[in-house]
Structure 1
Amino acid sequence: MKHSIKVQGNQALIFLTDKIYVHDASVLREEVLEVIDHGVTDIKIDLSGLTYIDSSGLGTLVKINKTAKERNGKLVLTGARGLPEELLKRTRLDKVFTIE
């Protein structure tokens, strides 16, 4: 997985590309939770460059969403297509997340 995190004020824009497996998910979770700990409440994750996400990656998105909501923030997913979009629908996480 390749990713970048751009923080501006209380907002973060995260771009994910390639594939997310167990190790990638834990790295992403740690980095995003650290950003939240520093006051970011509104997070947007761009999935348009993502080709695959496993269950640990989906779990990481759930954790980020939960933590953001606990801090009166929000998580928005954008650009999901292909297999990641299909997995969000199959797991019914499309009902949990705000997806644009």
Structure 2
Amino acid sequence: MEKHIDISEENVVVTLDGRMHDEDAELLGKELFRYIDQGYSTFIIDMAGLQYIDSTGMGILIAINKQTQQTGGSITLAGLRGTVNELFEVTRLKKVFKIQE
């Protein structure tokens, strides 16, 4: 999986491409939790280029979402497509996250 992270004032913007497996998800989680520790609480995850996400990846996103909500922030998932979109629909996680089409 490829990732690119941009910081713009209060927002952490993460662009993901490829396939997210457990090792990728764990590394991403560690990195995003470091941003939370630094005081960032608003995350935008651009998933338009993401073709696959496993349960570890979904779990990391849920954990980040929970942590940001506790500090008054949020996580927005953008560009959900294909199988990734279907997975978020089937698991009803689209009701948990802010979704930007």
TM-score, normalising length: structure 2: 0.96
Q: AA paired with 1:15?
A: T
In the TM superposition, residue 51 of structure 1 has moved relative to its aligned partner by 0.2
Partner of 2:64: 64
> What is the number of residues matched between the two proteins?
100
Q: AA paired with 1:44?
A: I
3-state SS of paired residue (1:63) = helix
Segments of 5+ residues of structure 2 without an aligned counterpart are none
Partner of 1:10: 10
Question: Following superposition of structure 1 onto structure 2, how do residues 32-47 of structure 1 map, counting pairs within 5 Å?
Answer: 32-47=32-47
Question: Identity of aligned pairs, percent?
Answer: 38
Q: Deviations 1:56-91 (Å, cap 9, x if unpaired)?
A: 111011011011111110000000000110000011
Q: Deviations 1:37-59 (Å, cap 9, x if unpaired)?
A: 11111110000000000011110
In the TM superposition, residue 35 of structure 1 has moved relative to its aligned partner by 0.8
Matched-pair contact (CA < 8 Å) for 1:4–1:15: yes
3-state SS of paired residue (1:58) = helix
In the TM superposition, residue 27 of structure 1 has moved relative to its aligned partner by 0.3
CA distance in 2, matches of 1:32, 1:73: 13
TM-score, normalising length: structure 1: 0.97
